[in-house]
Copies of this chain bind each other. A is one copy, B any other.
């Protein structure tokens, strides 16, 4: 039921061609889809400041560039995750202001710069191999208008390095922790602070790491109660959730 067809219904009522009761009956049998679709816009309105997102993995440079440039015609920020430099070069040919965040394997077009996050998001990673995942969380949180601080290479087997940087954790409003192998870092971090921790298991490790499953299970069973978990390597999801939390009024 789009605005026009509903308007016509009201018009008929106004002109006396339909009684209110008959109109109610007709309304009931109209497809409510369009009304639903109208609600989408409203819903979209809630999403102001959210980036348009492209999952780059498995797409050709040409495909990536085509989608990216199409989205770029509308306003707002664009983020392509898991994108190669080759994909970026194809994008830049069409969208000159697109930038490549090498460490995060991300292409970004940041046109809105407003900080909507209330506080700082700390992104913590266990080992150097977890950094690409952590950087994707950083880019996601930044493009969604947050201040981000990194705390890298603070794995639990060298606990002093983490403790030496407790200050950063203490200042954060939300903390994202990326860890592979045994995935123990979120538990330790969670025990040190009183704010929500979003844990990202990474596919780092070998053998019984099962490409992130060991870390995922570890995080699921965290003995710290302030930890919730996203999918393996899903740093975008973690950055997104953290951003939603951080923009809560």
Contacts and interface: CB of A to CB of B under 8 A. Distances in A.
Interface of A: 3, 6-11, 13-14, 16, 18-21, 23-24, 27-28, 31-40, 42-43, 46-47, 50, 53, 57-58, 118-119, 126-127, 129, 155-161, 163-167, 173, 180-184, 187-188, 190-196, 198, 201, 203, 205-234, 236-238, 240-241, 244-245, 248-249
Nearest to A55: B129
A228 B218 contact: no
A237 B236 CA distance: 23
Contacts of A8: 20
Given A165-B33, A198-B228, A223-B127, A20 B10 contact: yes
A138 B190 CA distance: 22
Stoichiometry, as copies per complex, reads 8
A221 B58 contact: no
7 contacts: A31-B164, A159-B191, A182-B223, A196-B241, A207-B232, A208-B217, A216-B220
B57 A28 contact: no
Contacts of A196: 241, 244-245
Contact of A31 (B3, B166, B194, B231): B166
A32 B31 contact: no
A163 B181 CA distance: 23
B10 A182 contact: no
Contact of A167 (B31, B159, B224, B234): B31
Contact of A194 (B47, B58, B159): B47
Given A173-B248, A220-B231, A6 B33 contact: no
A226 B210 contact: no
B229 A188 contact: no
Given A14-B20, A39-B32, A208-B232, A221 B182 contact: yes
A213 B222 contact: no
A60 B248 CA distance: 42
A16 B15 CA distance: 10
